Structure formats: structure tokens, C-alpha cells
Chain A
Amino acid sequence: MVTRIPQMPNTAVASLSSSTVRAKPISSRHDGLAAALMIGPNLILFTTFVVVPVVAGLMLSFTTWDITNGFPKWVGLANYRRMYSDPLVWTSVKTTLKFIVVGVVPTVVISLGLAMLINFRFRFVGVVRSLYLIPAAMSFAASAVVWRFLFLDGPGYGVINYVISLFGVTPPDWLGSPTWALYALDIVTIWLSLPIATILYLAALQRIPDAVIEAAMLDGAGPWRRVRFIIWPGVRYMTLLVAIISLLAFTNGSFDLVNILTKGGPLYATQTLIYYIFVNGFSYGAFGYASALSVLLIALIGGILLLLRLLSKVTLR
């Protein structure tokens, strides 16, 4: 499924590495037929709507096609050449990367801070933690509607700009300004991503025994040293997962929020690659070109994932 809600790479990683899974060879039993019947419907649907689209997308990227009539026409690398010389492609790649970096980094840092803040017991701790988690139940669509009102500018300031103006600063017209619109979308997506990131960090923090932290405090370790030498080593394995989940959330947000709040504007300032693909496919009917752009998008996301993995390998050493 597709949303900012994680489709848990953790599960994927665990299932590939776990050795407990292999059935013991008690006999030379083979369940071929029963297995095929049982997993068949799953595999048929999965192949039709997940595997085929990936392969078909790659093939279609070498064609032009108006899907309503006729067959795809082979054009070789024409779509890719067009992509290379299309300035809007470069802007939307840059916008996408900026949207992701400006969003994911604060999400990771802030959620770790929040998790540390609420990782202790007190009366009503459950209620307070719920406050941190509720936004996770919101859809991009619902959040967009609420935040659009909070971001209002002009004579009837929204709450955010009212608060900013109290400090004597002239607030920006968030969604209407080419400079600020992308940051506004980032703020909404960060707000939506924090709960899940915080839950994950909290789960990691709760595995660090209180006794270890207390012992460190007795030894005179200040807050900074406690974070550096006890908390960070205890949670850093979780950071990769938090980063990946946030990355996928921001990938989704880069369509939903853009389509509802800004339509790629103003002046293409929020035209993410996904939105550009959507426009090419569904507004211009350029399905071949849109397929080529989709290949670029998958490569982009795949590249970031590889980079994250490399980073985590280096820092975990």
C-alpha cells in the first residue's frame, strides 16, 4: 500500500537475514503443488499490479503512446533525450531532493529529541504520549485542509502568521510565495511524519536499561555525554529505519500535498518530479514520456536508499 505509513523495511531486512526460518529437513517432503495453490492468488495479483507495472514502465519509456488508441510506438532513447534537455525535469528533480532533504533531516533529529523527552514514567504519561502520536492518524488530504487555513496570509492572518507578526517580523505568504511554498509543504509533512519516527525511536530507547543511564549519571556524565555515549549507540540502528520510512513518507507527500495545496506552483516552486509525472501522464496524455520520468524517479529513490545504507554502514562501524 502507499502512504506515508511505513511499509516496513525492517520486516524485509529481518526476513532476508533470519535463519530461524528455514524448515528443518526432517524428510524430503515437497509441498510444491499445495504451496502453488495457496500462494497463487497472492502471486497473480502481485505480479499483475506490482511486477508487471515496473517492467512495463521500463519498456514504455522507450515508446510514445496515446493509450486510448493504437499500440505504443518504439522511439528508442527519444524520451530520455527529451528528458535530458527538458529544463523542467531538472527543476523538479532539484525540488524533489530539496523537499526530501529539508524534510527528512529535521524529522530524524526532532523525533529523536521528542522520544528522549517522553521516555520516562510519570502520571498521565499515556495521555501525553497520545498527544505526540495522534497526527499519525491524519491523511495528507485532511492535514492539507487544516494547514492551508493555518498558513493563511493577508489581512486575515492565519494563526501561524499572526504569531510571527507578534515578533515584529513580516510573515511570508507561505503557500503563495515561490520561496516559502516548498518549506510550508515540508512543515506539514514533518508534522505528519514525526509521530511514527518518534514511536520507533521510543521503542529503541526503551530497550536501554534505566540502570545504565542512572549509573552514567552517578559517574557524573552530563546530558551531552549521556546522549553521545549511551543513548546514541543504543538507538542508531533505528536511525536507518526512521530515515527510510520518512523518505517514503516524503515521497508520497510530494504528490498528495502538492496536488491539493499548490498544484506545483507558484512559478513551479513546488513542482516535484512525481507531480510532473502526473501532469505529463494525466493532463498531456504523454504516457511514454511519463514512463521515462518514472524510471528516473525510481532510480532517484533507489539512489537515496543506497546512499542511506552506505552511510549507515560507515557510521555503524
Chain B
Amino acid sequence: MMAPAGVRRSGRILLATLIGFLLAAPLFYMVAGSLMSNEQLSIQPPQVIPSSLHFENYSQALSGVTQVIQARSFLNSVIFTVCAVGLQWMLCVSGGLVIAKMRFRGRMLITVMFAISLFIPLVTTLIPTFIVTYKLGLIDSYAGLILPIAAQTGFGTLLFRQFISQMPEELFDAARIDGANWWGILRRIVIPLAKPATAAYLAISVLTAWNMYLWPLVAAESGSLQVLTQTLALVGTTGQGQVTPQNVIFASVVLVTLPMIVVFLCVQPAFVRGLTGSGVE
């Protein structure tokens, strides 16, 4: 016998909500833990609701002897994300226009190369990429941190190519008849019309750059280029004779992660469009 439809529907809503909270539980726990006293964090059974709110954990994460987040690494993360994504965006939108609308030999070859590169993530070519960067004398510089990442243009170029190729040919013909050159077309037609594709691209790339760990780890040997993921990894690494209290660690993770969670929730639809490969909605 089946339960009545209404009951089944409520049951499904309840189940969906419960599982949602279960999946997000580590995040809620992280926020709760960041507000607890260290004593409360270490008692059994584990506590999930702070008995009193210890906002000083946050100031301790940002200053004093327990400081985890240095202004310098925050700034480095911002510089790295903005420059890598900004530069890559310019390369991708112009490259996308070239492959989508311009006629020249070798277009297919370039497209295929970009497509293949999607399946060779940087982690698999880490060693030779490091060597190339090293031989160019760029290790331990912002250029060495940013350029190899901005150079991963395969995904973005193909995303913009797909979006731009759907723009009507007449638009481009008309602009050319009016005497516009390709740079004019890029600035006045393509970039304004490709805003949805740009949103999708930015949603994915900003998140990726901000969360990147491996390349900054090998490209920035000195502490002055450290980014936030490295900072977190250092306090999170097992067996490092941990001195930072756990509640301060949680507060640090919240400080690093919260901006991205907020951004992510705002740009979620653009993110989905980028993933499913359709710049168009």
C-alpha cells in the first residue's frame, strides 16, 4: 500500500532537507567550532553548539602570538586571483573571437590543442612546468606565480569560442562594413554581448584560483609570496608540532572560506552554466 501523496511529499521534503544539512554539517561545525572555547572543543561527547560565543578567536587568528592569517598572504591571494584570472580572461575572450569568427589556416589545429589540454591538468605536468618556469628565472616572483596559471587558457578560450560562434554573422559583417577593425569588434560587440559567458567563466576561474594550492606551493619558495591555501595547509598539516589552538584554526578557515562561499552562492547560476558548457541561458 502506498502512503497518500501528501505524506510522501512531506517525507521527501524532510529527507531532502536532512541530507542537505548532513552534507553541509562539516561547514556548520567549522563555524560553531570557531566560536567555541578550546576547552569546549576538546570535551566528550563532542559539542555542536557553542556554550558562549568567543569572537576573540577571530582576532587571535588575525593577530598576536596565535596569528594564522598574515595580511601579506591575504594580499598575495588577492593579487594572484585577480591577475591570473584577469589576464586569462583577456587572452580567452580575444582567442575565442579569433577561433570562432576569423578565417585563417590552422584554426582547427589550435582548437584541438586547446581541447586536448583540458585532459592534461597542471598536476600531471607539474615537474616540467616548474622546470620551464625555473629556467625563465621566474620562480619566487609574482610573474612565476601568475603566468603559468594564466596560461592555462584551454577551457576559457573554448568556452568563449562556443558562445561567440552563436552570435549572428551579420553583426560582424555590418561592423566591418562600417569600417570597424577586429579590435573594435572585440571591444564594442563581443565583450558586451559575451557578458553571460564572462560571468560563467569568472565564477569558475575565481573559485579555482583562490582555492589553488599546488602551484603556489612550488612556485613560491619564500614566505613572502605565500597564499592563503598554503597558510591553512601549514596549520592543518599533521604532525607539525601543532601550536595553534583548534578554535583559532577554525576561525582562520572561516575567514579564508567565507568570502568564497558568499561569492559562490551569489554566482551559482552562472557557475552552473559554465559547467554545463553553455554560456547561453
Chain A residues at the B interface, C-beta cutoff of 8 Å: 1-3, 5-16, 18, 20-21, 23-24, 26, 29-32, 34-36, 38-39, 41-43, 45-46, 48-54, 56-57, 60, 67, 114, 117-118, 120, 122, 128-150, 156-159, 162, 175, 191, 194, 196, 199-200, 203, 245, 248, 251-252, 255-256, 259-263, 274, 277-278, 281-282, 287, 290-291, 294, 297-298, 301-302, 305
What is the distance, in angstroms, from A118's C-beta to the closest C-beta of chain B? Answer: 5
What is the distance, in angstroms, from A122's C-beta to the closest C-beta of chain B? Answer: 5
* Alpha-carbon distance between A263 and B155 when the two chains are bound, in angstroms: 31
* Alpha-carbon distance between A12 and B159 when the two chains are bound, in angstroms: 8
B 146-170 binary contact with A (CB < 8 Å = 1; else 0): 0111111111011101100110010
Q: Is the CB of A278 within 8 A of B126?
A: yes
User: Given A128-B20, A140-B211, A298-B120, do A36 and B104 touch, yes or no (CB 8 Å)?
Assistant: yes
Chain B residues at the A interface, C-beta cutoff of 8 Å: 9, 12-13, 15-17, 19-21, 23-24, 26-27, 29-30, 33, 42-46, 48, 84, 88, 91-92, 94-95, 97-105, 110-115, 117-136, 147-155, 157-159, 161-162, 165-166, 169, 173, 181-183, 186, 204-205, 207-215, 217-218, 229-230, 232-233, 235-239, 246, 249-250, 253, 256-257, 260-261, 263-265, 268, 271-272, 274-277
Which of these, B29, B151, B210, contacts A50 with CB under 8 Å?
A: B151
Q: Is the CB of A251 within 8 A of B121?
A: yes
25 contacts between A and B (CB under 8 A): A1-B122, A3-B208, A3-B212, A9-B119, A12-B154, A16-B112, A38-B98, A39-B110, A42-B95, A49-B151, A54-B125, A120-B12, A122-B13, A134-B261, A134-B265, A138-B261, A139-B256, A141-B232, A142-B256, A144-B236, A147-B26, A148-B236, A255-B123, A259-B233, A298-B124
What is the distance, in angstroms, from A70's C-beta to the closest C-beta of chain B? Answer: 13
Q: Is the CB of B118 within 8 A of A38?
A: no
Report whether over half of chain A's contact residues are helix, strand or loop; otherwise say mixed.
helix
What is the distance, in angstroms, from B11's C-beta to the closest C-beta of chain A? Answer: 11
Q: Is the CB of B132 within 8 A of A53?
A: yes
Q: Is the CB of A158 within 8 A of B46?
A: yes
User: Given A48-B132, A260-B236, do A291 and B127 touch, yes or no (CB 8 Å)?
Assistant: yes
* Alpha-carbon distance between A57 and B103 when the two chains are bound, in angstroms: 33
Q: Is the CB of A137 within 8 A of B275?
A: no
Most chain B CB atoms below 10 A, which of A6, A7, A26, A30: A7
